[in-house]
Amino acid sequence: MGLLTDPTAGSGKIIKFLLKRERPLCFFLYISGIVWILLLALPIFNDNTYFSENALLPGLVTKESNLAQTAKQYYIHLIHEMKRYPNVMPYAWLAAKLNQLHLDVFTHNFTLVYPFQEQQFTGQNIYGIMRAPRAASTEAIVVSVPFRPINSIYLDTAPSIALLLAFAKFCRKQKYWAKDIVFLITEHEQLGIQAWLDAYHEVTSGNEGILVSGDLPGRAGSIQTAINLELHSMKITSIDVKVEGLNGRLPNLDLFNLAQNMIAKEGIRQSFQRRFDVKYKNKFNYWWYHFNTLLMMITSQATGIPTGNHGLFHRFGIEAITLEGFEKPGQQNSNGNFYQIGRIVESIVRSLNNLLERFHQSYFFYLLPSTDTYISIGLYIRSLVLIIAGIFVKAFSIWQRLQVSTSVEDKKNTVIKQSKDDRFDIGIIMSEILWSHICGVVIATSPFPLTYFGKKVNSHTEDSIYFGFVAITILTLIWPFYSRRKMKYKNAALVCVIALVELGTVLMCIAMHNFSLALLTAVIYVPFVFVLPITPKQNLTKSRKMLSFMWVFLHPFMIASLFIMSYTYIYFFSDSLPSILFRGYRATKQAFVFSIMDSMIYGNWLYNVTVSTMFPIWFIFWNILCFNIV
């Protein structure tokens, strides 16, 4: 306790060195973290993938299926039905085909109550259950496909449904299944799978009363794994394996390895992040290619948005992946047909059928620079630890300077206790912290009042929320100048210490769930925090003005807008500048609404974390920059 209360306790050589070299040390830690990220793509930091769960018995399965002809027949009939009903799913036809296979067939109805306009949208899922002949329906495997009508803006999935029906017909004739197999066809993309999972587990994942999942008329055993199929052609030349799930969750690495192994065995090109493995002789090109793949995974995972329907299974402890198949235009590969694709699905499901327990032996936290290598959490977490360490060094240094200044003042005054003017004003400090976080909570709940007032002027939901956020951004930027507040150096320094500790703690907590989000946030914000000037009687110097100008662009809403604009430019760089700006403007409005809706429906906490934690921290530092410190 003496170290915490004695002002002279921090006067050792290490502390003096720390106070003298604080900023270079912080930037050294930051740069070390960045360098560590860059090094992760080198082969020396990558391990070859392997199977931790021997019970899968991958490669030992004797494949028996030949689904090409059956799937082709189903595909022709399905396309005919889809043309008859171009806007809806052919419920009756799908249910009839599953009934013909003597499965337990059920339909599931769900409703989406759109929160901002009080509209209702209905949907229906169809699923058939093949009961395990060698077990008591205690465990299950799900094979799912999202149905997309002909006029959908997304790529066609009719070949996936045809393969699912053909595979169900094949499975019905086999007697070796030890788990139930659920053949699920969902409507309205991720809404359908989320409603089905909520109903299956009798829970509500999002806000009450928005996605009404209803009841399921039939259930299988406890779901162990799920395979989601998105095949866009009857001639598949490559398969991309998707793993990123809701809020950055990942499936067990063994499941990813299993899929890649079975795809390779059938001679189909395999990819991750739509990138094929390339063996460059030039070491720099090799590193650069794998680093880009790694960076694509990090940015995808950071959004918290699932890359497929598989991503909604993870929160229920169900390991799931999506197999997305493509046909390369102009390439007629005799191997790229449904004979091989059917055997891939068969071998994966049969391997999963061999499992005696849930996946637990391999990694759940990893990064992938290629299809056959991985980076474990023990390696990649160090980059974030180095960056966050600089934050705590900065906070500790400011605190030590406060202790040193207090000790010097005590010696000058030759008194034991501080005078009233030298004490911390706890009321001002706590009100500053509390007020910033109250603003974050108010903004988090602002979409409802914004859309309510928008209706009064016949404004669309996107416009109401977007221009409401613009107004909030402007108000938060001009508030310190309007209030013209002053604060004593000691109070401002302690507020800064609290904000730094909170920033470091928040980043560590986020990293436990979504490392990529924490990493990108730290890379963007931390270097500007390091140069934050906190000195007594400091006016608006040139460096302080420059930092204040740059801090404006680090406003969470500004950061989001700039990212979306950059993303728009990358994909539409050939367009004119006005066209790119207009596309980015529309995309930004949609992104704000989608992030809010994702938090309400699926429980995606990107919006809530940004507004409730990162915005208050940004606001505290903004106030410190704009204060007249005396």
In this prediction, residue 282 carries a pLDDT of 87
Q: List the one residue out of 177, 82, 185, 83 whose CA is nearest residue 137.
A: 177
Averages of pLDDT over runs of 10 residues in the chain (630 residues) are 48 75 90 94 88 76 80 92 88 93 93 84 93 84 94 90 94 89 93 94 88 90 94 91 93 93 90 89 90 94 92 94 85 63 92 87 90 92 94 90 62 48 74 88 89 84 90 86 73 89 94 93 92 64 78 90 88 84 89 91 90 92 78
Q: Give me the DSSP letters along 261-300.
A: HHHHHTT-EEEETTEE----SSHHHHHHHHHHHHHHHHHH
Is the distance from CB of 234 to CB of 75 less than 8 angstroms? yes
Q: What are phi and psi of 347, to 5 degrees?
A: -65, -35
Rounded Cα distance, 347 and 65, in Å: 9
Render 218-270 in DSSP notation, one character per residue.
---SEEEEEEEEEE--SS--EEEEE---GGG----HHHHHHHHHHHHHTT-EE
Q: Which residues contact 415 (CB under 8 A, 6 or more apart)?
A: none
- What backbone torsions phi and psi does residue 575 show, to the nearest 5 degrees? -75, 170
362 to each of 52, 54, 515, 572, 585, how far by Cα in Å? 5, 11, 18, 40, 43
- Which stretches within 445-541 are classed as H helix? 447-456, 461-483, 489-511, 515-530
3-state SS, residue 139:
strand
Topology classification of domain 65-275+305-371: Aminopeptidase (3.40.630)
The CA-based angle 428-615-548, given to 5 degrees, is: 75
Q: What is the pLDDT of residue 549?
A: 83
Please tell me the distance from the alpha carbon of residue 456 to that of residue 471, in angstroms, as a whole number: 17
224's CB contacts (< 8 A; 6+ apart) are: 139, 140, 141, 179, 318, 319, 352, 355, 358, 359
Pairing of strands 47-48, 373-376: antiparallel
Identify residue 417 by its one-letter amino acid code.
K
E strands present in 104-235: 104-114, 119-130, 139-146, 180-186, 211-212, 222-231
- Dihedral over alpha carbons 553, 559, 563, 569 (to 10 degrees): -30
pTM of model > 0.85: yes
Q: Measured in whole angstroms, how far is the alpha carbon of residue 452 from the centre of its chain?
A: 30
**pLDDT at residue number 623:** 85
Place of tokens 């001002």: 428
d(CA 166, CA 168): 5
Match 């198949």 to its residue by tokens: 325
**pLDDT score for 487:** 74
- Per 3-state DSSP, what percentage of the chain is helix, strand, and coil (rounded to 5)? 55, 15, 30
Residue 3: what pLDDT? 47
Q: How far apart are CA 137 and CA 135, in angstroms?
A: 6
pLDDT of residue 536: 58
Residue 54: DSSP 8-state = G
Q: Which residue has the tokens 């009857």?
A: 234
- Residues facing 129 on adjacent strands: 104, 182
Torsion angles phi and psi, residue 373, rounded to 5? -135, 160
Q: Residue type for 57, please?
A: L
**Per-residue tokens: 388:** 């966050």
Burial classification of residue 256, based on how many CB atoms lie within 10 Å of its CB (0-12 exposed, 13-18 middle, 19 or more buried): buried
Q: How many CA atoms are closer than 13 Å to the CA of 515, on its beta-carbon side?
A: 23
Residues pairing with 238 in the sheet: 269, 326
- Angle (deg, nearest 10), helices 377-413 and 13-20: 100
The reported pLDDT for the residue numbered 406 is 55
* Residue-level pLDDT at 335: 42
Q: Which residues pair with 363 in a beta bridge?
A: none
Tell the burial category of 469 from Cβ atoms under 10 Å away from its Cβ (0-12, 13-18, 19+): buried
CA distances (Å), 211 to each of 45, 59, 590, in order? 44, 41, 20
- The whole-angstrom separation of Cα 369 and Cα 272 is 9
Query: What does the DSSP 8-state code read for residue 527?
Result: H
Sign of CA dihedral 326, 340, 190, 99: positive
* DSSP 8-state code for residue 361: S
Question: 144 pairs with which residues across the strands?
Answer: 184, 228
CA-CA-CA-CA torsion sign (30, 35, 38, 42) = negative
User: Rounded to an integer, what is the distance from CA 516 to the centroid of its chain?
Assistant: 8
Check: CB of residue 389 under 8 Å from CB of residue 524: no
Residue 4, pLDDT score: 44
The reported pLDDT for the residue numbered 518 is 94
Query: Structure tokens of 423?
Result: 């004490």
Question: Residue 247 region, left (φ>0) first, then alpha (ψ -120 to 50), else beta?
Answer: left
Within 10 angstroms of residue 347's Cβ, the number of other Cβ atoms is: 24
Strand-pairing partners, residue 174, are: none
Domain range list for the chain: 65-275+305-371, 423-487+539-629
